C-alpha cells in the first residue's frame, strides 16, 4: 500500500519540478537533434538512446506534445516554435488514421495543446491558425468515434486496433479527442446524413469501459477485487454480447496490467471534469447528469482505491499486479518498489499516468467529499514526489530519457534487458516522459496559483 505523505503540498514539489524541467530541456534538445521529421517515431530507449518500434506510431503526439508542455511550463518560445512546426509538418496523418484508438494521445497532445494555449492567452490569437487547430480536432474526434461497435444493451464502444470485438481500457483517454470535437460544435454525419451524437459516444464508451473492464466486487464481480481492471474486453460482434476479459500487455485476463489501470484512473476523472462544463439539458437525453457522473465516479474511485492498496509504499507499481515472480520479492507491497530486482520489472510510466488521475479525482471531490479528496490528492503528490527523484528521474546527461524504469510490452519481450540483468531496467519510454511532464505542469500550476490545467482549457476569450 502507498505510504501517503499527508503533509506534502504542491509547493513542496517546486524545487524537484524545476530540476525536472531543466533535465527535460536537455532531453528534448538531444532528441530533436537526432530524430528528423519523417523518420520513424521514437518509442523507448535501449542503452539510453531512443529507438523506434513500428506498430501503430502512437507515440508521435507525445514526442511533439512534450515540446509544447516545455513551453507551457517554462515560457521558452523555442519549444513552442518547434512543437508547432512539428505538429504542422508531421501530425496530419494521425488526424485521419482510421486504424487506431489513439487519437486522444496523438492529436489532443499536439493540436489540442496548441488550441488550449491560444484560449488561455498564452499564444497570440490568430484566426487562421485557430481554424487550423479547430478543424484538426473536429476531424480527429469524428474519426475516433467512427471506430464503433454496438453492445447487446444498445450502447457501444470505440474498438481498439485489434478489431471490432476489442474494447481496450486505455481508450477511455482517447475520449478526449471526441470531447474536443463535440465542444467545438462539430456535426458527425453518417449514412443518409444521419447526425451521430459525439457526446453519446463518449458516454456510451465510458459506460461500457466502466461496466466491462473494471471489477467492483459486487453482483457478477463478487469473486473478484474492487477496482481491478482488465486490459481488454471481448465481444461477439454478431449480437454485441460480452464474452470474456483478455489482455494484450498484461500477465493474464485475471490480473491487472498497471498501465491499463492508470489509463482508467486518469481517463474517468478527466471526463468528469469535462462533463461538469456541459449543460444539464445536453446530458438529459443520454441518461441525465446524475446517472452518468455516478457511474464514471464509481469507476474512478474504484481504480484509484485499487492503485493505492496494491502498489508498493513509494507509489510506483510493478508492471502487473499478478506477475508470477512477485511472491519471490516477499512483502513487496510493504516496502518501496525495487527497480533493480531480478524477478519482475516496475513500470514507472504507469505511476506517471496514475498520479495525475489521483490528483484530478482529488480536485473533483473537493466540494462533495473533502476527506476522500484529501486522500487522493495526497496520494498523487506522494507518487509524483517519488518520480521526481532518483532512481526514477534521469540525472545522466547521456541518457535521452527523462523517466527511468519504464516497461512497454513485457509479454512480447520488447523491452531492453541490460547485460547482466534478467528483467528490463533503466530505460525510458515516450509516454512515460510525456506524462511526467504533464503531471509536473499540473502540480506546478497548482503551486503557483495559475489557471487549472485541463486538456480542453477555458472557453475562447472574445
Cα-Cα-Cα-Cα dihedral sign, residues 111, 115, 116, 117: positive
How far apart, in whole angstroms, are the C-alpha atoms of residue 234 and residue 35?
38
Contacts of 340 (CB under 8 A, 6+ apart): 391, 425
In Å, how far are 135, 164, 382, 454 from 358, measured between CA atoms?
32, 31, 10, 14
What is the pLDDT, as a whole number, of residue 221? 79
Collapse the DSSP code of 154 into the 3-class scheme (helix H, G, I; strand E, B; otherwise coil) and give the result.
coil
CA angle at residue 454 from 453 to 458, to 5 degrees?
90
Q: How many CA atoms lie within 13 A of 339 on its CB side?
A: 27
Largest interatomic CA distance in the chain: 62
> Per residue in 236-291, pLDDT tens?
999 999 999 999 999 999 999 999 999 999 999 999 999 999 999 999 999 999 99
> Per residue in 307-338, pLDDT tens?
999 999 999 999 999 999 999 999 999 999 99
What is the pLDDT, as a whole number, of residue 99? 94
Collapse the DSSP code of 132 into the 3-class scheme (helix H, G, I; strand E, B; otherwise coil) and give the result.
helix
> Per residue in 171-198, pLDDT tens?
999 999 999 999 999 999 999 999 999 9
What secondary structure letter does DSSP report for 146? Answer: T
Residue 311 in grid coordinates: 502498489
Mean pLDDT, residues 357-366: 98
In Å, how far are 133, 248, 367 from 117, measured between CA atoms?
11, 36, 28
What secondary structure letter does DSSP report for 174? Answer: G
Q: Is the pLDDT at 24 greater than 90, yes or no? A: yes
Rounded percentage of the chain residues whose pLDDT exceeds 70: 100
What is the pLDDT, as a whole number, of residue 155? 95
* Res. 462 pLDDT band, cuts 50 70 90: low
Residue 36 in grid coordinates: 528528423
* Res. 220 pLDDT band, cuts 50 70 90: confident
Q: Is the pLDDT at 20 greater than 90, yes or no? A: yes
How far apart, in whole angstroms, are the C-alpha atoms of residue 337 and residue 334?
9
Query: How many of the other CB atoms lie within 10 Å of CB of 34?
Result: 12
Q: Is the pLDDT at 223 greater than 90, yes or no? A: no
* Res. 78 pLDDT band, cuts 50 70 90: very high
What is the pLDDT, as a whole number, of residue 460? 81
What is the pLDDT, as a whole number, of residue 190? 94
Residue 387 in grid coordinates: 518520480
Mean pLDDT, residues 429-444: 98
What secondary structure letter does DSSP report for 431? Answer: H
Dihedral over alpha carbons 252, 258, 262, 265 (to 10 degrees)? 70
How far apart, in whole angstroms, are the C-alpha atoms of residue 232 and residue 230?
5
Collapse the DSSP code of 95 into the 3-class scheme (helix H, G, I; strand E, B; otherwise coil) and give the result.
helix
What is the pLDDT, as a whole number, of residue 454? 98
How far apart, in whole angstroms, are the C-alpha atoms of residue 140 and residue 293?
25
What secondary structure letter does DSSP report for 121? Answer: T
Amino acid at each position: 500500500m502507498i505510504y501517503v505523505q499527508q503533509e506534502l503540498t504542491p509547493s513542496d514539489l517546486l524545487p524537484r519540478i524545476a530540476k525536472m524541467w531543466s533535465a527535460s530541456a536537455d532531453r528534448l534538445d538531444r532528441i530533436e537533434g537526432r530524430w528528423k521529421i519523417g523518420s520513424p517515431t521514437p518509442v523507448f530507449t535501449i542503452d539510453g538512446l531512443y529507438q523506434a518500434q513500428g506498430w501503430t506510431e502512437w507515440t508521435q503526439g507525445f514526442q511533439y506534445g512534450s515540446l509544447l508542455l516545455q513551453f507551457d511550463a517554462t515560457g521558452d518560445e523555442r519549444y513552442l516554435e518547434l512543437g508547432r512546426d512539428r505538429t504542422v509538418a508531421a501530425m496530419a496523418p494521425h488526424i485521419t488514421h482510421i486504424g487506431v484508438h489513439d487519437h486522444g494521445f496523438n492529436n489532443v497532445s499536439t493540436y489540442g495543446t496548441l488550441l488550449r494555449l491560444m484560449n488561455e492567452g498564452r499564444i497570440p490569437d490568430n484566426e487562421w491558425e485557430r481554424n487550423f487547430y479547430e478543424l484538426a480536432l473536429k476531424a480527429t474526434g469524428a474519426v475516433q468515434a467512427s471506430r464503433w461497435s454496438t453492445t447487446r444493451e444498445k450502447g457501444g464502444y470505440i474498438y481498439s486496433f485489434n478489431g471490432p470485438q476489442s474494447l481496450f481500457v486505455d481508450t477511455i483517454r482517447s475520449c478526449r479527442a471526441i470531447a474536443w470535437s463535440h465542444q467545438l460544435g462539430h456535426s458527425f454525419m453518417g449514412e443518409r446524413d444521419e447526425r451521430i451524437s459525439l457526446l453519446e459516444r463518449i458516454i456510451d464508451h465510458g459506460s461500457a469501459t466502466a461496466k466491462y473492464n473494471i471489477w467492483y466486487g459486487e453482483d457478477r464481480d463478487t469473486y473478484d477485487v474492487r477496482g481491478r481492471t482488465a486490459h481488454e474486453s471481448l465481444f461477439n460482434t454478431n449480437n454485441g454480447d460480452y464474452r470474456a476479459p483478455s489482455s494484450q500487455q498484461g500477465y493474464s485476463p485475471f490480473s491487472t496490467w498497471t498501465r491499463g489501470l492508470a489509463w482508467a484512473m486518469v481517463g474517468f476523472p478527466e471526463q468528469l471534469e469535462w462533463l461538469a462544463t456541459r449543460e444539464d439539458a445536453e446530458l438529459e437525453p443520454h441518461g441525465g447528469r446524475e446517472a452518468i457522473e455516478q457511474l464514471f465516479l464509481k469507476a474512478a474511485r474504484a481504480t484509484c482505491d485499487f492503485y493505492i492498496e496494491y502498489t508498493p509504499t513509494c507509489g510506483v507499481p510493478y508492471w502487473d499486479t499478478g506477475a508470477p515472480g512477485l511472491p519471490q520479492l516477499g512483502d513487496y507491497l510493504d516496502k518501496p518498489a525495487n527497480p533493480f530486482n531480478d524477478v519482475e520489472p516496475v513500470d514507472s510510466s504507469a505511476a506517471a499516468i496514475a498520479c495525475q488521475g489521483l490528483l484530478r479525482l482529488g480536485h473533483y471531490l473537493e466540494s462533495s467529499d473533502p476527506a476522500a479528496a484529501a486522500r487522493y490528492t495526497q496520494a498523487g503528490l506522494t507518487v509524483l514526489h517519488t518520480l521526481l527523484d532518483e532512481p526514477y528521474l534521469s540525472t545522466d546527461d547521456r541518457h535521452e530519457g527523462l523517466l527511468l524504469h519504464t516497461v512497454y510490452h513485457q509479454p512480447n519481450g520488447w523491452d531492453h534487458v541490460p547485460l547482466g540483468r534478467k528483467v528490463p531496467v533503466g530505460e525510458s519510454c515516450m509516454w512515460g516522459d510525456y506524462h511526467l511532464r504533464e503531471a509536473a505542469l499540473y502540480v506546478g500550476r497548482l503551486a503557483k496559483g495559475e489557471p487549472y490545467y485541463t486538456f480542453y482549457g477555458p472557453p475562447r476569450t472574445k
